[in-house]
Amino acid sequence: MEILKELLPGCFLLQPNRFVDSRGSFVKTYHEGLCEALGVNLEIREEFYSVSRKNVIRGMHFQLPPNEHDKLVYCTRGAVTDVQLDLRKGPGYGKVAFAELSGENAHLVFIPKGIAHGFAALTDEALMLYKTSTVHAPESDCGIRWDSFGFDWGIAKPIISARDQQHSVLVDFISPF
């Protein structure tokens, strides 16, 4: 595994070890020792996945303290534009980064506490997997509205859940991070 790019401070685009032969491919998405050597410290407490149709935007999600979490995300089928929004107090507050994740490139993004996460599905179906350092706590579930921080998603008619439409706009958010 190697770091391809630091997207935001402590938020990394990763290339995992991938093995390809006549049968297909094998990708190791997590190895504690390799990740720690890169400065990607993640103690996995929960794993889940989502399946999205083309033009779906999910986000921008995070958990508030004391249940905030680090997250490792990747797309195993289809492709997404993965977006990160820095909510940590300081000079990076409000900065945005993004990367394309796909089953083809096998890239992963490590997202530390204090960064909101979302994505836009670019293909007819996109399968996203998430590993988190805490178990989901509904009382700490939070988000920033997808269209409130100046990012161009590149989708004329996005499909957005009612929940994601009701998140706070960035300008009204008071960060606990």
Q: Which of 30, 61, 93, 167 is catalytic?
A: 61
The β-bridge partners of 77 are 127
74 as an active site residue: the answer is no
Per residue in 81-125, pLDDT (tens digit) is 999 999 999 999 999 999 999 999 999 999 999 999 999 999 999
CATH superfamily of 43-172: Jelly Rolls (2.60.120.10)
Which among 69, 117, 130, 167 is annotated as catalytic?
130
- Enter the pTM of the model: 0.95
- SS3 per residue for 99-146: EEEECCCCCEEEECCCEEEEEEECCCEEEEEEEECCCCCHHHEEEECC
pLDDT tens figures, 61-86: 999 999 999 999 999 999 999 999 99
d(CA 70, CA 89): 17
130 a catalytic residue: yes
Burial-class residue 153 by CB neighbours within 10 Å (0-12, 13-18, 19+).
Answer: middle
